Amino acid sequence: MSKCTTPLRFLLTVLIFVSAASAQALSGDVRYGTEKVDGQEIFFREAGDPSNPAIVLLHGFPSSSHMYRELLASLSDDYYLIAPDYPGFGNSSFPSKEEFTYTFDNLAKVVNTFLEKKGVKKYSIMMQDYGAPIGFRIAAANPERVQSIITQNGNAYEVGINKDSWAPIIQYWSTPTKELGAIIEKNVYSADAMKWQYTHGTRNPESILPDNWILDYANISRPGQTEIQLALFYDYQNNVKLYPQWQAYLRKEQPPVLVVWGKNDAFFPESGAEAFKKDVKDIDYNILNTGHFALEEDHAIISEKIRHFLAKRKIK
């Protein structure tokens, strides 16, 4: 077989590119942008038609909107999805502690203002890890906007905290010393720790995309990140104090709740998922045999669960 000439090779490359682009367009393009919020550039990913039912995707620690890349592609035919990065995370602004006070109250304020500026007025909230304290603050303050809640290891109950794995952070709440901070940094912020968070409890660790922990480690290795992440760990105690208020919100407002929970999560065990049953009447309960970042292994299952859950409840 003769080799392709340069013009022919170029033409084939163009055709392949156009075909790939067309296929992506048919499946729903993922778009990227930034929105100025209180002086910060908030990066976001979005997909789907904004006139469709909206799903706000709130990421966890130490990740970013990157964790929702599969859902953005798979659900964009019927839904409008939007996933922001919080200040200090992913591709959003990374202000110093002197420029921005890193608390969950402030992160929730930024995300809420971001949604208002984007014109997202009614939505379902999908929350994972840090996304839960941010999402529940927004939901409790704006119950009329929230059509449903999707929790993927997004906790709102004390029984949902593994006291063993959280022990150094719980101790840090009462004793925020440099020595204890250094221990947390060594055990949580290292490259190995980043990888462990993604692979622990999974059925097939070798199938988990390494880009996840490589990106997270690159972000968390930036100068000043240790201090802001410790500030958020310290502030997490205020999330626990607000659990009763969020549970009261669930009992009063009764948003439909979809639970898609990785049962092998070392931080938020299945008991946290189970606890939602006592406060929510309309609950679709699913426990998955995977870890903390369940989307990495079960995004196809979770995508279908979301589609069925929202369609059954005629959420528009």
Catalytic residues: 292
Question: What are the residues whose beta carbons fall under 8 Å from the beta carbon of 243, sequence distance 6 or more?
Answer: 156, 157, 158
| 110 in Cβ contact with 87 (< 8 Å) | yes
Cα three-residue angle 304-308-314, rounded to 5 degrees: 145
Three-state secondary structure call for residue 38: coil
Q: Per-residue b/e over 74-113, b at no fewer than 16 CB within 10 Å?
A: bbbeebbbbbbbbbbbbbbbbbeeeebebbbebbbbbbbe
Rounded distance, CA 83 to CA 227, Å? 25
Given the DSSP bridges, would you call strands 80-84 and 54-58 parallel, antiparallel or unpaired?
parallel
- How many CB atoms lie under 10 A from the CB of residue 144? 8
Identify residue 284 by its one-letter amino acid code.
Answer: D
Rg of the chain over Cα atoms, rounded to whole angstroms, equals 20
Long-range contacts, 201-206 (Cβ 8 Å, 24+): 201/262, 201/263, 201/264, 201/265, 201/266, 201/290, 201/291, 201/292, 202/264, 202/290, 202/291, 202/296, 202/297, 203/289, 203/290, 203/297, 204/297
Token pair, residue 280, equals 């929510």
Question: What are the residues whose beta carbons fall under 8 Å from the beta carbon of 49, sequence distance 6 or more?
Answer: 80
Token pair, residue 243, equals 């659990």
Rounded distance, CA 120 to CA 114, Å? 9
- DSSP letters, 97-114, are TTTS---HHHHHHHHHHH
